[in-house]
A and B are shown apart, each in its own frame.
Chain A
């Protein structure tokens, strides 16, 4: 019985193995056994070795406190083994081609030769390493007891760790005979890099072999502490690899850009990225992936992306024009790797949008600019047949403008969605550009409003609700881009009022839908006036109805009734300035109505004011229409009856002829004096009554397009029309069209007045709240408050501030910095 502790009663004795005297003999004997075992293990001849015996030998050595010596002996033995056996084998495997200059540029020449030699060499390294690893694993197992003691007591690294370090120093860092400046690791490195270079050129290489060599480098450390950062792979191979890659991709990037094909460049770059990722997974180490990605991003993308994006004929511009979503996507993906803002790409896209937008603007203006010239000098001319056409054409152009923009928008939406991965940055860039070119067209608000007008009048006929909705939604999208929303409001109001008063709207539902959409988009403040217009219309219907019943009750039945349909409009809500008679400083007296009508007017006023005291009714003759029954005395005695639908003014004019004996005439001036119809309205009405070919109820002398003050007008009893009911429109009166230059000026002026008011209101509001404010701050607050409606002109704001100071709403209380105070 050996090494048995016996207990006899309570007395304890320990019998230790062997006599203590011969401890050093023990050591030598045990070491002999272990030493021979080491050799057996390294020569793969362990099957007859007993693990237990070896372990026990090592254990015994430790028990006699010679563990540390054993450790040293093993270390020395391994060092010798590596030097004499392994290292020799490794250096022997290095054949001349591997020693060639590390320059990989001209690989083609001895590629095959070098490659074969390289594979042989790597194979040897791989085998040596794997053998060493396996054997040291076994040896460490056998010496585990020693390891435990030595690592605990002497704070030394495990024998495994120390022998791995030996492999590093005595194999990998063994100098190569005849090349004292080189060590095995250098050759290993250059060989692996050479292989990778081959693979990049499209050759197939032995990936697993390289992977195994990389495993080795990953398993070896610079120090015995084995810090993760000290892996040989990271300290030596990886930097070399990254450097080589840098060189390679720098050249490749240059070459690709020189071929001048952006699509090709992006394709190659994308493939390269995928290749390198794969290389990190299968050939090298995943640790390298982020670093090689950085190299690719820098050398291939960051260095060239701007150039690629702007390549003539193949760059982003061409891709957009040809709607090449795939290519754009590649550009986008590459760009977003290197730059969150993707500057070159956004710039290119923005430029293209603005360019295309400018084209659209230009095409809408081509005729528009021609026309005003005509209008400018033709405005005073007599009505002319062609005139209707270009104006309509212009309206069509306006609508086309909107349609074009919508088409462009759709295009870029699809690019954004499919190619730019719905990227937020791209979206805002696109939006900015759209906004930019849309607002660069000064007429955009008008065009857009016309677009709505057109669609609400005709466009939506026969369309389903969904289609209508989509259509309106498109328009709203454009509205979003428009900065001067107040200008749009002005136009919309004007157009809406015409639609309402002339009952041109196809569907009131659509109108309301439109209002609610605008409300969502721009806000309640914006739509409240529009809504009030609808309200007025509704109330007016009631008023008309109740007036009718009122007449029925009180009226004299024998009187020849004139039916009255009336719309009472709140003057502040409706675009009165558009409809009002006043033109410039000309004081316009109310026009003279025929007696019957005058009576009717009085009666209604009486009725209306009885229920709404304190209000003032102003009659807008230019906005109304009248149905009159006209008898035409034919020369053959027959009387031809027609029902004429004319404007209120035309009705007044025609009524004059009732009192006139047949054949008599009235001059323009006479008519004007008798009716007090504003000159330009009169001209237009006379034109439509006497010039328009199909509706010549009056004759004119001399017959010409223009109306001159001296022209005479006769009742045309020969009036012929195939229809019973004849509608006589007012020349360029009723329809909503593009404004001419004069109208525009007017609109702008009104707009500016209105803006001035808004600005003053905002200033006073702010100052009232703040009491005291620095100029710059006041400016920003004002701009902020108003930005939802329009972008105020800074000069205008300054003027308003001055004006308010003059009027002593505010005062300047300091000069540096300029500060204002609120005057209560």
Chain B
């Protein structure tokens, strides 16, 4: 990992296709394989440099739930008894799609 420069801030901004912004810790965002690759410092893509990921495909409603999942994942990472996460049935298909896209 070459670059541990100033742009490697602790938080990153995830932006939905319809413009909603979510600021979450970098490590939390990296629960998603896609975002993790996006932010990979050695590759120096613009997202990695700016710390801002715009996910054109994903709507704010879904992204909010996705971010909630990221936090849920982080929180329970080392837990033995992981509580269930509540998913509204009407969102689950879209969430599945987002999960597929974000590789998580």
Identify the A interface with B (CB < 8 A): 1-5, 7, 12, 46-53, 55-56, 59, 134, 137-138, 141-142, 144-145, 148
Contacts and interface: CB of A to CB of B under 8 A. Distances in A.
B75 interface: no
Given A47-B46, A47-B49, A52 B38 contact: yes
Contact of A144 (B17, B34, B53, B56): B34
18 contacts: A2-B56, A2-B57, A3-B97, A5-B93, A12-B93, A46-B45, A48-B46, A49-B46, A51-B43, A51-B45, A51-B47, A51-B48, A52-B38, A55-B38, A134-B42, A138-B43, A141-B40, A141-B43
B47 A50 contact: yes
B10 interface: no
A406 to B, nearest CB: 68
A49 B37 CA distance: 14
Contacts of B33: 144
A56 B38 CA distance: 12
Contacts of B31: none
Contacts of A2: 17, 56-57
B93 to A, nearest CB: 5
A55 B34 contact: yes
Contacts of A134: 42-43
A427 to B, nearest CB: 55
B91 to A, nearest CB: 8
A52 B37 contact: no
Given A49-B45, A51-B47, A145-B101, 14 more contacts: A2-B57, A3-B57, A5-B94, A47-B45, A50-B45, A51-B38, A56-B56, A56-B57, A138-B43, A142-B37, A144-B34, A144-B37, A145-B103, A148-B103
Do most interface residues of chain B lie in helix, strand or loop, or is the interface mixed? helix
A4 B101 CA distance: 13
B57 A1 contact: no
Q: Which of A4, A46, A53, A144 neighbours the largest number of chain B CB atoms within 10 Å of its CB?
A: A4
Interface string B70-94: 0000000000000000000010011
B57 A59 contact: yes
B46 to A, nearest CB: 5
Nearest to A14: B93
A59 B34 CA distance: 12
Contacts of B59: 1, 4
Contacts of A46: 43-45
A821 to B, nearest CB: 79
Contacts of B62: 4
10 pairs of A and B residues whose beta carbons are closest in the complex: A141-B37, A51-B45, A7-B90, A51-B38, A138-B43, A5-B94, A51-B47, A50-B46, A47-B44, A4-B59
B55 interface: yes
Nearest to B56: A56
Nearest to A48: B46
B18 interface: yes
Q: Which of A5, A53, A59, A137 neighbours the largest number of chain B CB atoms within 10 Å of its CB?
A: A5
A148 B90 CA distance: 27
B41 to A, nearest CB: 12
B99 interface: no
Contacts of B43: 46, 51, 134, 137-138, 141
B54 interface: yes
Contacts of A47: 44-46, 49
Nearest to A140: B37
Q: Which of B45, B48, B62, B101 neighbours the largest number of chain A CB atoms within 10 Å of its CB?
A: B45
